[in-house]
């Protein structure tokens, strides 16, 4: 009996497990725990018979003075623990690196005769040839036996996973495939070199090639660790491929349980890629792209939401952005109002009784041939906006906030060279504007949350809506405080006249001062005073509503905290003297942003 093998764990495998657990804990979902359990169970169950065979046939051995003693099917318990901890570590690294990814954007609809068929078959052929060769090595029973046994055990599993998830294995970024394989492999190669040198485990001569990757690392060991990490990551990729299919295509999978059964996962993977709905995939890709380019705060926050809620929120963001841009960014004076009218007509059609269902129940999958809203979007909107409109899950949200949002955008249209303060005369006007452009967005977000996590009582839902509405206003005040300069350059001043008067300014002089070359120091001081007043009001709304986040359905609480705190961090930065400005806007440094998000995941701010 000895402690050497146990020490390998204490020194090398458990510290990374602990570190990864601490980092990943706030991000860990029920589905992640399910994945970890799933992978560990399969890894242990599939490795035990093989490893036991290697030990019993004397290909592999453990000197009795390095192990504690207890065994399972002749395998020392330390070794069984190795299967668990390696799978755990590689899985956590994969989960961490994959968190920012919205998997549905990597699905591809296949067409007859496209390159995907060849890619799949080439992979399958390569695996089949390897298995054949491996069988030969085992049959020969010479120095390539151990190599053959490794390959004949691992490659059939890889072949199966490749056949099910080849699209994702090719499409996912290397951060989700190559890195979670390469990093643990390299690490385990180093650990293995040290263990072999100390004689903690031994490969018997006669059945090994004797080739080494570097002194002390037998080629068989190197291949073993590489293939086992490939197996873990391929398994995780296949799992994510299946959940992406389940979440993306409600027409094929109407409901998705929180923890999909293995049978459902396999059913999803067996859905032919030619049956995928291209419009949904491309629409989601466009929405994610828009979110990534336009809002760092919400992009980061979106990665903490899950499943279909995450997809819906991204599409909602895309809709708000598209609508705002269509109305806001045209030069001619008639076009914005035309877009506004078109958006209203689109909503009228999407919320007509015929579409929403006569019994008031929501329809789940929109039928392009029947839905007048979809037909209208197809005909009337630019290419890059169509799919967002078509995918907007109107049946999961009330129509009123959308119409109010459009009223908010309409308020923006009253800004002009002769009316630089637009519709904002008083603080109440600014509150109303904030309520319309941002309070409404909050209501829509909460409605999506309550749809995806049902069970909230009506009275609590009301409380959540009221608080969310105020939180939207808080965010809008922050947005205005950040963009004073940008808005002035567009000829807009959102600051109430009374506030400006206190600083002996008017909206005209405020805009002229910010637009002009280098503003005087005393003028900038006044701007800062106005900015701080906007921020104070932002924090008043924030303080009144932040507590309500803890009343949301549990799985949405932490992600909502991230969304709100990431944006409010802009306000906190603006309150700091000498805040950082990028492209004319105050910005939150990347590391700070990550820290804010991570802290928000852990719990409410104190
Ligand atoms: C996580 C995720 C993907 C969330 C999506 C949130 C979403 C749908 C945002 C829409 C944003 C948008 C483009 C709205 C159009 C009107 C507008 C411009 C509003 C301003 C947003 C700022 O966005 P951005 O900085 O990208 O815009 P600029 O072009 O730079 O001006 C707003 C400040 C409003 C955003 C308001 C919210 C997201 C509501 C927040 C409140 C909650 C989520 C509710 C919290 C819940 C409780 C119970 C308190």
Q: Given a cut of 70, is residue 357 above it in pLDDT?
A: no
Helix or strand or coil: residue 463? helix
pLDDT at 230: 98
Check pocket membership of 424 for ligand 1, CB cut-off 6 A: no
Q: What average pLDDT score do residues 40-45 get? A: 96
* Angstrom distance (rounded) from CA 312 to CA 524: 41
Q: What average pLDDT score do residues 129-137 get? A: 97
pLDDT confidence tier of residue 331, bands split at 50, 70 and 90: low
pLDDT confidence tier of residue 484, bands split at 50, 70 and 90: very high
pLDDT at 59: 83
Which residue shows structure tokens 């700091």?
A: 576
pLDDT at 299: 96
Query: Of 109, 78, 72, which Cα lies nearest the Cα of 11?
Result: 78
Q: Given a cut of 70, is residue 356 above it in pLDDT?
A: no
Which of 479, 480, 558, 587 is the best mutation target for the ligand 1 pocket, counting ligand atoms within 8 Å of the beta carbon and taking the most?
479
Query: Of 533, 263, 283, 244, which Cα lies nearest the Cα of 393?
Result: 283
Q: Which protein residue has the closest C-alpha to ligand 1 atom 16?
A: 437
Cα of 445 to ligand 1 centre, how many Å?
A: 9
- What percentage of the chain has pLDDT greater than the value 90? 81
Which of 295, 299, 409, 411 is the best mutation target for the ligand 1 pocket, counting ligand atoms within 8 Å of the beta carbon and taking the most?
295
pLDDT at 291: 98
Check pocket membership of 313 for ligand 1, CB cut-off 6 A: yes
Q: Given a cut of 60, is residue 405 above it in pLDDT?
A: yes
Cα of 561 to ligand 1 centre, how many Å?
A: 13
Is 366:393 a contact under the CB 8 Å cutoff? no
Q: Given a cut of 70, is residue 432 above it in pLDDT?
A: yes
ipTM of predicted complex: 0.95
For residue 585, the ligand 1 atom closest to its alpha carbon is: 30
For residue 444, the ligand 1 atom closest to its alpha carbon is: 8
For residue 479, the ligand 1 atom closest to its alpha carbon is: 33
pLDDT at 266: 97
What are the tens digits of pLDDT across the range 144-172? 999 999 999 999 999 999 999 999 999 99
Helix or strand or coil: residue 202? strand
Task: Output helix, strand, coil percentages for the chain, rounded to the nearest 5.
Answer: 70, 5, 25
For residue 409, the ligand 1 atom closest to its alpha carbon is: 16
Check pocket membership of 320 for ligand 1, CB cut-off 6 A: yes
Check pocket membership of 548 for ligand 1, CB cut-off 6 A: yes
Cα of 346 to ligand 1 centre, how many Å?
A: 21
Q: Given a cut of 50, is residue 211 above it in pLDDT?
A: yes
pTM (two decimals):
0.93
Cα of 489 to ligand 1 centre, how many Å?
A: 22
- The CATH number of domain 397-606 is 3.20.20.70: no
H or E element at residue 121? helix 115-140
288 against 66, higher pLDDT = 288
Cα of 460 to ligand 1 centre, how many Å?
A: 22
For residue 310, the ligand 1 atom closest to its alpha carbon is: 3
What's the CA angle centered on 114, arms 110 and 117, to 5 degrees?
80
Check pocket membership of 8 for ligand 1, CB cut-off 6 A: no
pLDDT confidence tier of residue 522, bands split at 50, 70 and 90: confident
3-state SS string over 49-82?
HHHHHHHHCCCEECCHHHCCCCEECCEEHHHHHH
Q: Given a cut of 70, is residue 361 above it in pLDDT?
A: no
Check pocket membership of 90 for ligand 1, CB cut-off 6 A: no
Q: What average pLDDT score do residues 285-295 get? A: 97
* Angstrom distance (rounded) from CA 491 to CA 15: 57
Q: Which protein residue has the closest C-alpha to ligand 1 atom 33?
A: 476
Q: Given a cut of 90, is residue 396 above it in pLDDT?
A: yes
Check pocket membership of 314 for ligand 1, CB cut-off 6 A: yes
357 against 26, higher pLDDT = 26
* Angstrom distance (rounded) from CA 545 to CA 548: 6
Cα of 297 to ligand 1 centre, how many Å?
A: 9
Instruction: Compute the mean pLDDT over every residue in the chain, rounded to the nearest whole number.
Output: 92
Which of 385, 438, 447, 541 is the best mutation target for the ligand 1 pocket, counting ligand atoms within 8 Å of the beta carbon and taking the most?
438
Check pocket membership of 472 for ligand 1, CB cut-off 6 A: yes
Is 593:585 a contact under the CB 8 Å cutoff? no
pLDDT at 367: 57
Cα of 475 to ligand 1 centre, how many Å?
A: 7
For residue 316, the ligand 1 atom closest to its alpha carbon is: 8
> Largest Cα–Cα distance in the chain?
94
For residue 475, the ligand 1 atom closest to its alpha carbon is: 33
Q: Given a cut of 60, is residue 368 above it in pLDDT?
A: no
Rounded to 10 deg, the angle between the 278-294 and 219-248 helix axes is: 100
Check pocket membership of 324 for ligand 1, CB cut-off 6 A: yes
Q: Given a cut of 50, is residue 507 above it in pLDDT?
A: yes
Q: Given a cut of 90, is residue 64 above it in pLDDT?
A: no
Cα of 500 to ligand 1 centre, how many Å?
A: 26
pLDDT at 477: 98
Check pocket membership of 479 for ligand 1, CB cut-off 6 A: yes
Residue-range domain boundaries for the chain: 4-275, 278-395, 397-606
pLDDT at 362: 37
Is 385:373 a contact under the CB 8 Å cutoff? no
pLDDT confidence tier of residue 360, bands split at 50, 70 and 90: very low
Cα of 438 to ligand 1 centre, how many Å?
A: 6
Distances (CA, A) of 55 to 49, 50, 73, 146, 351: 10, 9, 9, 11, 67
pLDDT confidence tier of residue 302, bands split at 50, 70 and 90: very high
The two tokens of residue 49 are 């018979």
Check pocket membership of 464 for ligand 1, CB cut-off 6 A: yes
Is 229:90 a contact under the CB 8 Å cutoff? yes
The H-assigned helical ranges of 368-495 are 372-380, 383-391, 400-412, 427-434, 440-452, 458-482, 484-489
Cα of 58 to ligand 1 centre, how many Å?
A: 64
DSSP state string for 221-282 = HHHHHHHHHHHHHHHHHHHHHHHHHHHH-TTT-S---SS--HHHHHHHHHS-GGGS-HHHHH
pLDDT at 101: 95
Cα of 296 to ligand 1 centre, how many Å?
A: 11
For residue 317, the ligand 1 atom closest to its alpha carbon is: 8
């Amino acid at each position: 009996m000895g402690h050497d093998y146990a020490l390998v764990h204490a020194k090398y495998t458990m510290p990374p497990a602990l570190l990864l657990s601490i980092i990943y804990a706030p991000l860990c979902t029920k589905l992640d725990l399910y994945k970890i359990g799933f992978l560990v169970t399969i890894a242990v169950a599939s490795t035990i018979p093989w490893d036991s065979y290697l030990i019993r046939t004397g290909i592999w051995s453990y000197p009795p003075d390095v192990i504690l003693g207890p065994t399972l099917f002749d395998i020392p318990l330390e070794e069984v623990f190795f299967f668990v901890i390696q799978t755990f570590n590689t899985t956590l690294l994969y989960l961490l690196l994959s968190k920012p990814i919205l998997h549905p954007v990597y699905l591809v609809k296949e067409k007859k005769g496209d390159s995907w068929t060849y890619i799949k078959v080439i992979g399958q052929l390569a695996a089949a040839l390897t298995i054949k060769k491996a069988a030969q090595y085992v049959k020969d029973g010479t120095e390539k036996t151990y190599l053959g046994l490794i390959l004949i055990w691992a490659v059939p599993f890889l072949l199966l996973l490749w056949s099910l998830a080849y699209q994702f294995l090719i499409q996912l970024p290397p951060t989700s495939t190559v890195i979670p394989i390469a990093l643990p492999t390299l690490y385990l190669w180093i650990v293995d070199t040290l263990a072999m040198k100390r004689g903690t485990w031994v490969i018997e001569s006669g059945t090994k090639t004797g080739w080494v990757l570097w002194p002390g690392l037998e080629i068989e060991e190197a291949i073993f660790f590489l293939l086992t990490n490939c197996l873990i990551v391929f398994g995780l990729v296949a799992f994510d491929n299946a959940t992406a299919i389940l979440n993306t295509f409600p027409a094929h999978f109407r409901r998705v349980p929180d923890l999909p059964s293995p049978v459902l996962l396999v059913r999803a993977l067996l859905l032919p890629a030619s049956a995928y709905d291209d419009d949904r995939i491309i629409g989601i890709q466009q929405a994610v792209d828009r979110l990534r380019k336009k809002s760092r705060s919400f992009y980061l926050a979106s990665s903490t939401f899950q499943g279909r809620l995450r997809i819906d929120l991204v599409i909602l963001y895309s809709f708000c952005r598209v609508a705002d841009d269509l109305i806001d960014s045209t030069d001619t004076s008639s076009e914005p109002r035309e877009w506004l009218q078109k958006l209203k007509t689109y909503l009228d059609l999407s919320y007509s009784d015929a579409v929403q269902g006569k019994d008031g129940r929501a329809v789940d999958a929109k039928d392009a041939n029947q839905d007048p809203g979809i037909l209208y979007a197809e005909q009337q909107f630019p290419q890059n906006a169509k799919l967002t409109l078509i995918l907007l899950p109107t049946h999961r949200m009330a129509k009123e906030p959308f119409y109010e949002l459009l009223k908010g955008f309409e308020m923006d249209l009253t800004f002009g060279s002769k009316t630089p303060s637009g519709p904002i005369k008083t603080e109440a006007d600014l509150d109303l504007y904030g309520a319309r452009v941002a309070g409404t967005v909050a209501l829509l977000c909460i409605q999506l949350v309550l749809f995806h996590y049902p069970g909230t009582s009506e009275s609590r839902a009301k409380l959540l809506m009221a608080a969310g509405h105020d939180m939207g206003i808080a965010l809008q005040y922050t947005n205005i405080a950040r963009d004073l300069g940008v808005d002035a350059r567009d000829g807009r001043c959102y600051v109430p006249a009374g506030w400006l008067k206190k600083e002996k300014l008017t909206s005209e002089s405020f805009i002229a001062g910010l637009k002009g070359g280098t503003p005087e120091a005393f003028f900038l001081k006044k701007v800062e005073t106005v900015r701080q007043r906007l921020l104070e009001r932002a924090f008043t709304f924030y303080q009144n509503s932040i507590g309500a986040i803890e009343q949301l359905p549990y799985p949405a609480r932490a992600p909502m905290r991230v969304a709100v705190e990431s944006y409010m961090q802009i306000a906190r930065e603006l309150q700091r003297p000498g805040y950082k400005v990028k492209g004319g806007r105050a910005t939150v440094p990347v590391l700070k942003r990550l820290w804010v998000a991570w802290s928000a995941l852990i719990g409410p701010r104190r």
